[in-house]
């Protein structure tokens, strides 16, 4: 099956710094990638949808200037948390889809997640 | 988006079948029923999906009520590795699956008792 990786798997950063999380589709081209955030004991909340080569679409309440998303290629999307604060500490998960280019196109393929801790 | 309702938690003994219910009384004729599961500290993984007929795959079975207002995910023989949060999600058949976002509810936390 299609594999999505994330890097790093966990990161600790100081308040006020920025951190970049990478999401890669390893064996397929992902025209659309999604970024989710999950707080402890809660469900996944979609943050934004990104299509390759275009600007991301952010969900209501998500600050686009704080959570910078770049989807420059068909296999890589990045999420940069700028000026991170402790309340940004969360589990960030990406997913990728192929828009019908794979037989199992009804699936979204999820990465393993990145745990961000801001001190 | 049509909404789904699931029990917050369920328990099952190891090596016994598990039936996870999902209510979706406002489902439309164009909605597929999808199930994902999330193991602890991991991203979700696809389990199964269906439209009207019951479906089987290597992971599970999906039983869909005749009126489609509810469905049941069946794990035939639960193992400790099946302990996870199971999400029932509706997705429109009319959409481009690749572009459509998934709306996760609270899901059912399944605990397997050794």
Please compute, for residue A87, the number of CA atoms within 13 A of its CA located in the half-sphere on the CB side.
1
Considering only residues B65 and A104, tell me which one the structure prediction assigns the higher pLDDT: B65
Residue of B48, B101, B107, B109 to mutate, testing the A interface (most A Cβ within 10 Å of its Cβ) = B101
Contact check, Cβ <8 Å, A99/B102: no
pLDDT band at A99 (very low <50, low <70, confident <90, very high): low
pLDDT of residue B1: 58
Q: Say yes or no for a CB contact (<8 Å) between B41 and A51.
A: no
What region does A44 belong to: left with phi over 0, alpha with psi -120 to 50, or beta? beta
Residue B98 distance to chain A (closest CA, Å): 4
Residues B22/B36, Cβ–Cβ less than 8 Å: no
Q: Calculate how close chain B gets to A94, using CA atoms only, in Å.
A: 8
Per-residue pLDDT 10s for chain B (114 aa) are: 568 999 999 999 999 999 999 999 999 888 889 999 999 999 999 899 999 999 999 999 999 999 999 999 999 999 999 999 999 998 876 555 455 778 888 999 999 999
Residue A105 pLDDT greater than 70, yes or no: no
Q: What is the pLDDT of residue A55?
A: 86
CA atoms within 13 A on the CB side of A119: 4
For residues B102 and A27, give the distance between their C-alpha atoms in angstroms, rounded to a whole number: 22
* pLDDT confidence band for A103 (50 / 70 / 90): very low
Residues in B touching A97 (Cβ below 8 Å): 97-99
CA–CA dist A23, A114 (Å, integer): 10
* Residue from the list A32, A43, A109 with its beta carbon closest to the beta carbon of B99: A32
Residue pLDDT, tens place only, A58-84: 999 999 999 999 988 989 999 999 999
């Amino acid at each position: 099956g299609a594999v999505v990786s994330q890097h790093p798997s966990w990161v600790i950063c100081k308040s006020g710094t920025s951190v970049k999380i990478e999401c890669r589709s390893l064996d397929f081209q992902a025209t659309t990638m999604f970024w989710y955030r999950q707080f402890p004991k809660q469900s996944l909340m979609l943050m934004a949808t990104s299509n390759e080569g275009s600007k991301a679409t952010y969900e209501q309440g998500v600050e686009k200037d704080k959570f910078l998303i770049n989807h420059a290629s068909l296999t890589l999307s990045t999420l940069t948390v700028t000026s991170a604060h402790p309340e940004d500490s969360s589990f960030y998960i990406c997913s990728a889809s192929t828009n019908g280019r794979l037989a199992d196109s009804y699936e979204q393929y999820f990465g393993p997640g990145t745990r961000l801790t801001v001190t | 988006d049509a909404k789904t309702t699931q029990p917050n938690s369920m328990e099952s003994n190891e090596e016994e079948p598990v039936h996870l219910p999902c209510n979706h009384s406002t489902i439309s004729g164009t909605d597929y029923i999808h199930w994902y599961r999330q193991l602890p500290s991991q991203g979700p993984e696809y389990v199964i999906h269906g439209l009207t007929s019951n479906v089987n795959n290597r992971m599970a079975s999906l039983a869909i009520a005749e009126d489609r207002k509810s469905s049941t995910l069946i794990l035939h023989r639960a193992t400790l590795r099946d302990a996870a949060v199971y999400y029932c999600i509706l997705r429109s058949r009319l959409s481009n699956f690749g572009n459509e976002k998934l709306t996760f509810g609270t899901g059912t936390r399944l605990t397997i008792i050794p």
